[in-house]
Amino acid sequence: DAGINAEDLASFHEHLNKSTRVLALLGAGLSASSGLPTFRGAGGLWRTHDSVSLATPEAFNADPSLVWQFYSYRRHMALQVQPNPAHYALAKLARKMPGFQALSQNVDGLSQRTDHPPGQLQLLHGTLFEVRCMDRRRCGHSETNFVDPIVPALAIPTSGIDPTSDEARQAVSAQLQAKQQGKDLDISDVKVPLASVKTHDLPVCPKCKQYLLRPGVVWFGESLPEQVLDNVDEFMNAGRVDMIMVIGTSAKVYPAAGYIEDARAKGARVCVVNMDENDKPAGGWKKGDWFFKGDAATLVPRLLE
Ligand code: BJW
């Protein structure tokens, strides 16, 4: 059975059964089989843009319309898909083990749509469904917002697009057919022309009515939410950590990836679940680590059953 060696599974279960303080560092690979793309590697492109390059304050300031279309599309996609068996298995572990904390880098809201206790889910990079005023210092407005599209101008186009080439025309007409069957145009398809959205049609802060709203996610160069950092520190400092599971993440983004070494320093063994054996834990492999290769949605429920 792919990805699971019986001996490794037995030693993992033996260790889990005597564990009381466990962490799971979660990444985009956890939601891949729900149908959401990851950031790096295959599928890490949005149209012609590297997804990572759109996740910066500089990208937003340079082209808020493009960056909002990217996030609006991601909000829409996240609302279309469902949590998968791995999200549910992690929620079940959380309910069973009070000393379990999931440290999620994902902003897709899928873990929150299971019965995962919120106090055992740390959202390291925020969420797509919280939006806040660009003027954090003076205005500071933030709100939970599931409205899709968040403003009419960010609706995924269904008509009125002006295709500039035959290729675009074909892509759009194929997609318009899909639309008639109840599916949306896929604006991640580079052949589908992006609507031009004027800055003044983007979501504006309802409180100060002056600045744009932005997605409540953590972009490069920005600090992680203070309360979340404090919660993780508190957990790390409260004693020995038995294990950290590293699920569907390339573990290249800090400070998130640094939690693997922090947990090791507290005695934790490391269990990696990933499709790609080259995505090692930050800091490399150590004796006593486990590696389970394959789809998190299949492997995590087996590991946690
Ligand atoms: C499967 C699968 C399946 C596929 N089953 N597996 C220390 C050293 C060096 C640099 C820094 C450092 N400390 C800070 C920095 C700077 C920077 C950083 O880390 N840079 C590195 C890239 C070098 N960090 C920051 O800027 C952070 N802020 C900060 O530290 O503030 C203080 C500070 C500021 C300035 C300087 C110094 C300090 C903020 C980081 C915020 C990251 N934000 C993003 C975007 C969020 C919004 C959005 O979603 O758009 O978060 S970037 C993006 O990467 C997103 C993800 O959460 C994050 C991690 O990606 P993830 O989840 O690992 O996805 P992938 O695609 O990389 O990997 C998927 C994996 O799944 C792969 O391994 C696949 O094989 C696997 N897989 N299908 C199982 N079915």
Please give the ipTM for the structure prediction: 0.97
> Which residue do the tokens 């299971």 mark?
114
- What is the rounded average pLDDT of the residues 60-65? 94
Which letter, b or e, does each residue of 11-48 get, where b requires 16 or more Cβ atoms within 10 Å of its Cβ?
ebeebbeebebbbbbbbbbbbbbbebbbbbeeeeebbe
Domains, in order of start, for the chain: 1-36+83-125+223-305 (3.40.50.1220), 40-80+126-157+203-217 (3.30.1600.10), 158-194 (no CATH)
Closest CA to 73 of 215, 172, 200: 215
- The answer, yes or no, to whether the previous bond of 85 is cis (omega within 30 of 0) is no
Residue 139 annotated as part of some ligand binding site:
yes
Angstrom distance (rounded) from CA 185 to CA 25 = 33
Q: Say what the pTM is.
A: 0.92
Encode pLDDT of 228-266 as tens digits. Answer: 999 999 999 999 999 999 999 999 999 999 999 999 999
- Determine if residue 205 is labeled as part of a ligand binding site: yes
Atom number in ligand 1 closest to CA 257: 19
Residue 214 has pLDDT above 80, yes or no: yes
The one catalytic residue in 13, 125, 141, 200 is 125
Residue 28 has pLDDT above 70, yes or no: yes
